[in-house]
Amino acid sequence: MLACRGLTKHYATDRGPVTAVRGVDLDIGSGDYAAIVGRSGSGKSSLMSMIGGLSRPSAGTVRIAGTDLWGLSEAKAAAFRSTHVGFVFQFASLLPNLRALDNVALPARLAGTMSRRASEERAAQLLADMGLDSHAEAFPFELSSGEQRRVAIARALMNEPGLLLADEPTSDLDEQTEREVMALLRDINRARGTTLVLVTHNLTLAAEAGRIIHIADGAVVA
Ligand SMILES: Nc1ncnc2c1ncn2[C@@H]1O[C@H](COP(=O)(O)OP(=O)(O)OP(=O)(O)O)[C@@H](O)[C@H]1O
Ligand SMILES: [Mg+2]
């Protein structure tokens, strides 16, 4: 499902170039659940951004379901990403002026894959799956952090991606809500067969994954 080769990221800064990811080779099978762990600053988010098509690698390749993501034109990459990859970010990323339902439906509207009515029905179903049926009409500021996170997960699932990337989706939540959000992600992985790659600082949660990938100083360590 996912194959990275020689994946590398340098950032230009005032203090000179910073290498955040150095030559990562990684294979994750279809339907797998992999947890990525490592210290703050080790390059986890930089790696996830390149896998998710959000930040261009300085070197190396990302293949998702056989497609060379960074070999696509910008327009093709955007279309591919929107239908194959769901991304839940480290920080809440809902559009503040859209209600929960419209935030969730947005990926389908952008991809133009469904009628407005069909997208609203699917968004409502996803919100119900997340236990948020009564909050469909709420704006993000009217929701708690955990509720916002669940809306973001529902949005990431809108276009039924084969690959779900989650970068510390529970970092700022209380323990109970963290467990609930994690259980949701695990259910999605099991019930829908969605490949799940999760960055977490919580080693107890990481231990529930089929596989743990340790990152240190931008590289995969055994
Ligand atoms: N846009 C950027 N410009 C310059 N340097 C950056 C940028 N983004 C990240 N870095 C640097 O790259 C390194 C890796 O950062 P990254 O955000 O990938 O780490 P992380 O493992 O996700 O950390 P955390 O656990 O704190 O989220 C760090 O040294 C960071 O300072
Ligand atoms: Mg990070």
Inside any domain, residue 211 = yes
Nearest to 151 by CA among 142, 165, 140: 140
Query: Residue 198 corresponds to which tokens in the numbers above?
Result: 């999760």
Mean pLDDT of the chain, nearest integer: 93
Check pLDDT > 90 for residue 165.
yes
Inside any domain, residue 174 = yes
Domain that holds residue 209: 31-51+74-216
* Mean pLDDT (whole number) for 71-75: 93
Cβ(196)–Cβ(189) below 8 Å: yes
Residue 54 CA to ligand 1 centre (angstroms) = 14
pLDDT tier at 190, thresholds 50, 70, 90: very high
Inside any domain, residue 212 = yes
Inside any domain, residue 23 = no
Residue 63 has a pLDDT of 97
Cβ(2)–Cβ(197) below 8 Å: yes
The full DSSP string for 141-193 is GGS-HHHHHHHHHHHHHTT--SEEEEESTTTTS-HHHHHHHHHHHHHHHHHH-
Residue 143 CA to ligand 2 centre (angstroms) = 24
**Which helix or strand (DSSP H or E) is residue 84 part of?**
helix 74-84
Residue whose CA is at the smallest distance from ligand 1 atom 26: 40
State the ligand closest to the CA atom of 20.
1
Query: Residue 64 corresponds to which tokens in the numbers above?
Result: 């998702």
Q: Can you point out the beta strands (E) in 29-174?
A: 33-37, 59-64, 67-68, 85-88, 163-167
Residues with C-beta less than 6 Å from any ligand 1 atom: 11, 13, 18, 20, 38, 40-46, 90
pLDDT tier at 181, thresholds 50, 70, 90: confident
Name the residue of 45, 48, 55 whose CB sits within 8 Å of the most ligand 1 atoms, as the mutation to test its pocket. 45
Check pLDDT > 80 for residue 92.
no
Inside any domain, residue 16 = no
* Mean pLDDT (whole number) for 195-206: 91
The CATH number linked to 132 is: 3.40.50.300
Residue 129 has a pLDDT of 86
Check pLDDT > 80 for residue 90.
no
Number of domains in the chain: 1
Query: Residue 212 corresponds to which tokens in the numbers above?
Result: 């743990």
* Percent with pLDDT over 90 in the chain: 76
pLDDT tens column, 30-39:
999 999 999 9
pLDDT tens column, 115-133:
999 999 999 999 998 889 9
Check pLDDT > 80 for residue 172.
no
Residue 39 CA to ligand 1 centre (angstroms) = 11
CA distances from 163 to 25, 80, 81, 159, 175 (A): 18, 12, 10, 11, 26
The span from the CA of 124 to the CA of 129, in Å, is 9
pLDDT tier at 202, thresholds 50, 70, 90: confident
Check pLDDT > 90 for residue 180.
no
* Mean pLDDT (whole number) for 75-100: 90
Residue 118 CA to ligand 2 centre (angstroms) = 35
* Mean pLDDT (whole number) for 58-65: 97
pTM, entire model: 0.92
- The β-bridge relationship of strands 85-88 and 163-167 is parallel
Inside any domain, residue 66 = no
Residue 41 CA to ligand 1 centre (angstroms) = 5
Inside any domain, residue 199 = yes
pLDDT tier at 93, thresholds 50, 70, 90: confident
Name the residue of 14, 18, 19, 87 whose CB sits within 8 Å of the most ligand 1 atoms, as the mutation to test its pocket. 18
Residue 130 has a pLDDT of 87
Inside any domain, residue 178 = yes
pLDDT tier at 174, thresholds 50, 70, 90: confident
